[in-house]
Structure 1
Amino acid sequence: MIAGWNTWDVTTHTGMVHLPSGLRVRFGVPGAPLDGFTWRDGLVRLGHHTVGGDYAEVTVEAGGGRLHLVMAGGPTDELYVRAEGTAGVLVAVDGWRDASVAGWRLDWRETGGGPAREGVELLPVDGLTLEFAGQVELRVAPQDTAGEVTAGAELGARVDAVLAERRAGAERSAPRSGGWLGDAADAATRAVTWNRIYAPDLGRALTPTSRDFVAERRRGFYGTWALHAWDTFFTGLVASTVDREHAREIFGQILPFADAAGMIPNRVSDDKGVTADRSQPPVGALTVRKAYLASGLSDGTRDRELLSGTFAALLAWHNWWPRARRGPHGLLAWGSDPVEGDPGSSTLDRTKRESGLDDSPMYDDVTYDPGTRTMALTDVGLVALHIADAEALAAIAGTLGEGDVARRLRREAAEARAAADPLLWDTARGGYRNLRADGTHDPHVAPTLLYPLLAGMPDPGRAAELAGRLLRPETLGGDPPLPSVARDDPGYAATYWRGRIWAPMAFLAIEGLRRYDLNDTARSLVVPLLRLFLSEWDKHSHVRENYPATSGEDVRAFQARSDGLMAWGGLLAYLAYGELADAREDGWRFAHPGEPAELAGLPLGDGRLAVTAGDRLSVTLDGRPLLDAAPGVVVTAYRRTAEEVTGIAHGTGDLRVSPPGDGAPVRVPVSAEPVRFRLSRDDRHDNDGGTPA
């Protein structure tokens, strides 16, 4: 059972709710709507917010007044708050969702704005409203546990002490970034933690990708909650850099809603139910595997429970696609099944929604084939994602000891690559293209045409040529890069999926480039995308649903269709983290990004990982050195267990590697050829721990 104080109420982030009692304490500006704050409306700055609500800090404005809140709740019955308003502070206490509450006590102390005042309120069943002229400090607790704390100086001291202690704890537990990365870690973290809510009808906590998007009272599209398939998986991946347990919880949110055939629905919500006719892009195994790899320095410390808890559902979903979505030429295509009583099912519009790219120009001239229940178009992106899904599932199966399943999935991926590559490759254009039912290639260009790299479809030479051709400034390159359709496409409009920049697309495209070690090309995209990400965060405290593809465009208006705090926007920060520390199938890659940067506090099963790039590259675990390298040295395939450390050093310069245990760092000389190193706990080492790769 969930218990304690947190910002559970989806309608308001300027207050806290206690569970299971349902007591709610909200704060506002006198004369302004109490629940009028959204991510678009009145947000000035989001501060720390722990997953459990132990600490939350936010600044908002309304009606000419600014309100700064610092709240300390968490898994306890006591709530401590300091609220400071330039035009006063309004406090409303009631029972959430019309529940009756009593037996609570509120101690308050007002300072500033006039003579100091203090008081104690025993909460009536129907709640109360208080108005203060300046700063107020308060404590809420059950009457029978309120103790001797009064509303005077003792309360002020107690509030100060609790808030200071909780803030320090929040700073210790959160990932941090600096230098070239700016406040990227703060932004990505807060887009996850501030969107955590409680769904009473489910009796559980959820992290939808955005409160504004799912809540009608925040001008959203659903009642009080909704989950979307690929949104959930991308949110879980971003959350994996914040808290491993919370990420595991998020990944598991959508899985119970799969149907008997294994199909994970596009969307499920409290008021609109389940989309029984369609799914969404198959990115579940890919994101789960990525989060798993980044959860430790070796399989011994990684989050095996994340894999075991998701594998069966993800495998069933994977198997559903070829049964339900065979389109033109026997390849996969987006679709929609007929559902009795749902007149919108089995239509072209719904097939577009399954793609996740609702109004993409790629689908402007497509028709729906009722015979196959799919588009009359084989989509390169879907084919590649399903192959990548098979590979990720094979790796998961291997880790879990499901050898037969792993072999079957690897064979399936190889066969799918062999079948799809010659059909989807357009020789005349020198790249992959969507394939129409009549056998002609569709001319539209989008980042999805880079997804074959994610699936390992082209050979290395063709991959490099493809990337160079697609990433020209007039197509998918430029600054900022990776618009959702090429700039020279006739359908390009720099709106929604017709040209805006979307973090999920960027993530999938750049992960493909990294698979082929096209690291310079990947970095040329990551740098301007990070700049775009930080600009919106620094100016507006926003992590966006999508980002402007044209310089100077303001996408904050509701009509612009770019939600102000959507967790999957944090993928742009995640990609930038990968320039310093990136967990890959063969082990970790550590590199200097070429500019001073810091990334610290990443939660691994081994401890907290930190990477600092300055005059040298330093990698530490809970403050203990792991690697110390010259800027020109890149370390790949790094693994560390209690018994040995292995990796490969590339580049030029010197490298020092700490062996397991308490041994002194060992020098590994690095020159033109890659050098493998292996250090064991019990070995005696001289200066040189390396051997040629």
Structure 2
Amino acid sequence: MIEEVAPEYRAVQRRLARGWNTWDTRSLLSQVRLPDAVLVSLGLKEYYRGTTLRHVQLGRREEDAETVTLGPHAVDGSYTELTVEWRGVTLRVRSAHAGDDLVLLVEPLTNQPKSACLTVAVAYAWNAPGAVRREGDSVVAESAAGATPVFATAPSVTDPYTDVDTPHLVLELTGPVGISTGRRRPMAEIESIIVGQLTRLERATSADVHRAIIRDAIAWNTIYEPAGARVVTTVSRLWNVGKRGGFALFCWDAFFGALLAGTVSADLAYANAMEMLAEATPEGFVPNVAQGTGRKTFDGSQPPVGALACWELYRAHGDAWFLRAAFPRLLAWNRWWWRVRRSGELLALGSTSFVPDVPSPQDVPRIHQHFGATCESGCDDHPVFADVPFDAASSLLRAHDIGLNSEYILDCELLAKMAAELGAEPERRELEDRRAAVTTAVRDRLWDDGDRIFRSHFSDTGRPTAYLSPMSFYPMLAGIAGPDQIRALMAHLRDPEEFGGQWAVPVTPRNDGRDVQGYWAGRVWPPVNLLVYLGLLRSGRTEDRQWLAERSAALVVREWELHRHVHENYSAVTGNGCDFPDSEPFYSWGALLSLIPLIEDGRVPYFADWR
């Protein structure tokens, strides 16, 4: 949790870290009660091969991995639903709150000839203090907070080979099975509680598909991070485990996650922003990533969108303490860009040399290298950087980046507004002066009059770089493009041979001419769509922004209706997300494609002053 914590923020985390929820990132079938960390974890034992599925994740790609379909998930955990298919067994699992208790309903939809069994393990998560014992057909967890018995509607059978190490129940799945904490409940009561909580949730959001997409993308990826004693939304549960050691917080992802969370929970939005700011380095910048192994990217940052998220959250929810708490760290980050990534009167992307205290294979190709510098754009190894060399002496790419400088101008503008709100007059003047200097330099040096587009230019020769991306539209987001320039930009954006077409906006133009393959080639990325849309909104391009809002909505709803996926990125050719191994199927920022139509229709209180 962030140091020097405002008392209001301590209260935020206390409110969030309560009750039963899918807090444990290791398995979608685990429910943990906070603050005492009682854990009820479901598993599956099948008898064709005699193996046990202990932890369930969405998106595993190894042979024989489970297939998961995520259903509705209330942010407070009061209702969850998912379907798991594994080795011929399919389960529908629903959970609901019954006051302070938890109920679960597990329904077998398909089964093996010899019925699979459900394992119900009880423990204290994360080595929290407490004792667990088996008592007949129940399991009891007990700590200083009291005793929590766990019951089932079916008798527990004997199977000593379930691979479960803690006290647990083994329940034959010959029919539906109910589980309850606190007291024994009959199946009819459990079913009634489940239906009641689902009805309540559907009344709140499910009639609006875009609100449901945002809710579920945020709720399923929100975890409790025990090392930092904090509730936070991550990008993907699967990304937290394995090579990242339990959690991973990515810079601009987290701030977009805060914006998304702000539509369903102000507390969770504040937590996402504050916890990312808490990861700032001693030099003052917010790192590209901080993760559970202890790794932190001390070589570089990611796009400065923190002020954008924090300012809109403040305007939407009005909590002055949040502005006071966030501003100093946002200001330090802004100053770091100017101090460390400045090249003349403009900024360049970079990767600073350092020796990691926690070595990681992920750092081998990036520290003080071209790839690492491209990661600072948020668009790792984007083809737009192919002709831009890395200068080891300065630790910078040898180009003034149009995306970064536009984002930085906006960052200065919004921080100046925060400073004014907080009565910090010297800081306001400092930020206004810096914004003016970078604005002048972008207008003078980064407009390509031949191709009638903003683009990056080499910092040594002043010539334009060879390739384009949607970052060329970001000067509209910064509010610095003139009317004639905006009209010229629209010709590029709406051209189906460049950035237009049915599935927009591709992050490389369709007529690029290169056979480029890679993570950021030929795909539609939700954060890019959002930033381009906001530029259109700010520039008063009503028809163009409606065009992009409609395409963004169609893209996210298509995969949602097919698979209930919210992808990390999508094909700009087919609109598919599942066609590409480097597109995580349930990634928080995929829901930005749903935020766009909500902003467009005025259904969320964001960016009202740009209308």
Q: Hey, which of these two has a bigger chunk of strand by percent?
A: 1
Does the Cα contact within 8 Å between 2:28 and 2:56 map onto a contact in 1? no
Higher CA-based Rg: 1
What secondary structure, in the 3-state scheme, does the structure 2 residue paired with 1:307 have?
helix
Does the Cα contact within 8 Å between 1:42 and 1:61 map onto a contact in 2? yes
Change (3 A) 1:320 1:526: same
Matched AA of 1:160: E
1:53 is matched with 77
Does the Cα contact within 8 Å between 2:71 and 2:564 map onto a contact in 1? no
What secondary structure, in the 3-state scheme, does the structure 2 residue paired with 1:550 have?
coil
1:283 is matched with 305
Change (3 A) 1:46 1:584: closer
How far off its partner does 1:464 sit? 2.2
Change (3 A) 1:81 1:391: same
Unmatched 5+ residue regions in structure 2?
Answer: 1-13, 47-51, 133-139, 142-148, 158-163
Aligned-partner Cα distance in 2 for 1:107–1:585: 46
1:468 is matched with 491
Could you tell me which of 569, 572, 584 is aligned with 1:563? Answer: 584
Pairing of 1:597-616 with structure 2 (within 5 A)? none
Q: Are positions 1:94 and 2:109 aligned together? A: no
Deviations 1:609-640 (A, max 9, x none): xxxxxxxxxxxxxxxxxxxxxxxxxxx6xxxx
2:91 is matched with 67
2:191 is matched with 160
How far off its partner does 1:97 sit? 4.6
1:546 is matched with 569
Deviations 1:482-524 (A, max 9, x none): 1111111134646421121100011111101111110101111
How far off its partner does 1:476 sit? 0.8
How far off its partner does 1:289 sit? 1.8
Q: Are positions 1:433 and 2:463 aligned together? A: no
Matched AA of 1:235: G
The alignment's TM-score, normalised by the length of structure 1, stands at: 0.75
How far off its partner does 1:243 sit? 1.0
Change (3 A) 1:586 1:89: closer
Change (3 A) 1:118 1:127: closer
Matched AA of 2:31: M
Does the Cα contact within 8 Å between 1:16 and 1:26 map onto a contact in 2? yes
The alignment's TM-score, normalised by the length of structure 2, stands at: 0.84
Identity of aligned residues (%): 30
1:309 is matched with 325
What secondary structure, in the 3-state scheme, does the structure 2 residue paired with 1:131 have?
strand
Aligned-partner Cα distance in 1 for 2:127–2:417: 49
Aligned-partner Cα distance in 2 for 1:48–1:273: 33
Q: Hey, which of these two has a bigger chunk of helix by percent?
A: 2
Could you tell me which of 599, 605, 609 is aligned with 1:578? Answer: 599
Does the Cα contact within 8 Å between 1:290 and 1:583 map onto a contact in 2? no
Does the Cα contact within 8 Å between 2:388 and 2:465 map onto a contact in 1? no
Pairing of 1:448-597 with structure 2 (within 5 A)? 448-491=471-514, 493=516, 495-551=518-574, 553=576, 555=578, 560-581=581-602, 587=608
How far off its partner does 1:338 sit? 1.5
Aligned-partner Cα distance in 2 for 1:336–1:317: 15
How far off its partner does 1:205 sit? 2.0
Deviations 1:120-158 (A, max 9, x none): xxxx993124122210112123xxxx4xxx45xxx3343
How far off its partner does 1:89 sit? 5.0
Could you tell me which of 169, 190, 208 is aligned with 2:234? Answer: 208
How far off its partner does 1:20 sit? 4.4
1:11 is matched with 26
How far off its partner does 1:312 sit? 1.3
Deviations 1:153-180 (A, max 9, x none): xx334323433443344335x44554xx
How far off its partner does 1:272 sit? 4.7
Deviations 1:104-128 (A, max 9, x none): 3222214xxxxxx699xxxx99312
Deviations 1:223-247 (A, max 9, x none): 2111011010011111111111111
What secondary structure, in the 3-state scheme, does the structure 2 residue paired with 1:107 have?
strand
Change (3 A) 1:409 1:475: same
Matched AA of 1:380: I
Matched AA of 2:121: V
How far off its partner does 1:554 sit? 5.5
Matched AA of 2:197: R
Pairing of 1:76-95 with structure 2 (within 5 A)? 76=100, 78-86=101-109, 87=111, 88=116, 90-95=118-123
Deviations 1:272-321 (A, max 9, x none): 511111111101001222233334xxxxxx33333223111111111110
Pairing of 1:162-177 with structure 2 (within 5 A)? 162-172=193-203, 174-177=204-207
Pairing of 1:9-408 with structure 2 (within 5 A)? 9-31=24-46, 33-39=53-59, 42-43=66-67, 45-73=69-97, 76=100, 78-86=101-109, 87=111, 88=116, 90-95=118-123, 96-97=125-126, 101-102=131-132, 103-104=140-141, 105-110=149-154, 126-132=166-172, 133-141=174-182, 146=183, 150=184, 155-172=186-203, 174-178=204-208, 183-216=209-242, 221-295=243-317, 302-327=318-343, 329-340=344-355, 344-408=366-430
Matched AA of 1:130: V
Q: Please, which moves more after superposition, 245-254 or 81-90?
A: 81-90
How far off its partner does 1:552 sit? 6.4
How far off its partner does 1:577 sit? 0.7
Change (3 A) 1:546 1:340: same
Change (3 A) 1:311 1:18: same
